Amino acid sequence: MKLFGLSLGDNAKKIEAFKKQFRAVYPIVPDEERKIGETLGHPGTPTMFICSKDGKVLAAHGGLIENFDEFLKDIRDLHGKL
């Protein structure tokens, strides 16, 4: 699995400032015109999609993660099925 962010409405300069401020080490893709967000149905922030290598969406989560341990378990279970 690979993790990346999608920044709706932001440009590369804003993304770099965010990465520096929050020490984000993962890649973040700009979506200045929100075209990707539109294709995804205007997801809220944050929204996470877990996809297979062939692009199939395996799981999606919107909003804050309330039980992180359970969330990690679910990801590990998904990873084990790949």
Q: Say whether both 28 and 54 belong to one domain.
A: no
CB proximity list for 76: less than 8 A, separation 6 or greater: none
pLDDT tens string 4-40:
888 889 999 999 999 999 999 989 999 999 998 888 8
Question: For residues 63 and 46, is the Cβ–Cβ distance under 8 A?
Answer: yes
Q: How many domains does the chain have?
A: 2
pLDDT tens string 46-73:
788 888 888 888 888 878 888 989 988 9
> Which residues share a beta bridge with 47?
62
Q: Say whether both 17 and 2 belong to one domain.
A: yes
**Global pTM exceeds 0.75:** no
Q: Say whether both 49 and 69 belong to one domain.
A: yes
